[in-house]
Amino acid sequence: MPQSRRDRPAKPALSRAGIVAVAVDLLHSEGLDRVTMRRLSAELDTGPASLYVYVRNTADLHAAVLDELLGTVDLAPDSTADWQDRLVQVLASYTRVLFQHPGLARTAMLTWPSGPHYLALLEQLLGLLAEGGVPTDRAAWAVDLLMQLATATAAEHSTREETKTGAEFEALRAAAQGADRRTHPHLTAAGAELFSGAGPDRLLWGLRVLINGVLATPRPE
């Protein structure tokens, strides 16, 4: 029992790829909450400090895990459809992946992913925009907006998931609906509309807004 480590074939040398792989396993088996430096180092039979040679910090680790998951995004759906529809489908697939792993979306908002799967996603989006005749300079900025919206939508959803019906979300809802009709006429008028619409509906509308807006708005200068 004490030296159960002896049973293992050998302690494999540490590497970034190996660390991330174990982290992905950990994510699937115990959830993102357990993908911590300490838990992960225990799994790798070493100490937390050892990981910092291969991983800048926890955010970096989570970003690497996320990029791994981005490999499952469907980059080429239904090639018969309109370029706009395909654009929406790709981004919907992206959010679907994030939806399955609450918490990673929040990481994605704070840390800029730069893994190969993320780059492939950007490449695909740029391609679709080019196909739609969007000028390159506009497209470069547009992917930013599109990804931001998709990520934020997923992050919002995951926040509401993890905090169990989202405490601060309810706080806002209560505050908005309890607002004084005199001092906040528009807010009370908007009322429930502010919170209406399931995640997907709002996302789809938002993406259309962005596409239409990008097509209509040249860059300054």
The contact set with DNA (CB under 7 A) reads 11, 13-14, 34, 36-39, 46-50, 52-54, 57-59
Indicate the DSSP class of residue 133: T
Among 68, 111, 134, 157, binds its own copies (CB under 8 A): 111
x/- mask, its own copies, residues 42-71, rule CB under 8 A, reads --------------x--xx--x--------
Our finding on whether 89 is near its own copies (CB under 8 A) is no
Our finding on whether 152 is near its own copies (CB under 8 A) is yes
What is the Cα Rg of the chain in Å? 21
**What angle separates helix 116-131 from helix 58-69, to the nearest 10 degrees?**
50
Nearest-approach distance from CB 113 to its own copies, in angstroms: 7
Among 93, 120, 132, 199, binds its own copies (CB under 8 A): 120
Tell me how far apart the alpha carbons of residues 41 and 35 are, in angstroms, rounded to a whole number.
Answer: 10
Residue 77 binding result from DNA, its own copies, none, given CB thresholds of 5 to 8 Å by partner type: none
Contacts of 33 (CB under 8 A, 6+ apart): 103
Our finding on whether 79 is near its own copies (CB under 8 A) is no
Our finding on whether 72 is near its own copies (CB under 8 A) is no
Q: Which is nearer to its own copies, 12 or 185 (CB)?
A: 185
- 139 SS3 class: helix
Residue 31 binding result from its own copies, DNA, none, given CB thresholds of 5 to 8 Å by partner type: none
Nearest-approach distance from CB 167 to DNA, in angstroms: 11
Residue 100 binding result from its own copies, DNA, none, given CB thresholds of 5 to 8 Å by partner type: none
Our finding on whether 179 is near its own copies (CB under 8 A) is yes
Tokens of 152: 């934020």
Closest CA to 54 of 7, 110, 105, 15: 15
Tell me how far apart the alpha carbons of residues 139 and 148 are, in angstroms, rounded to a whole number.
Answer: 14
Q: Confirm if 59 and 111 have CB atoms less than 8 A apart.
A: yes
- Residue 77: left if φ>0, alpha if ψ -120 to 50, beta else—which one? beta
Nearest-approach distance from CB 209 to its own copies, in angstroms: 4
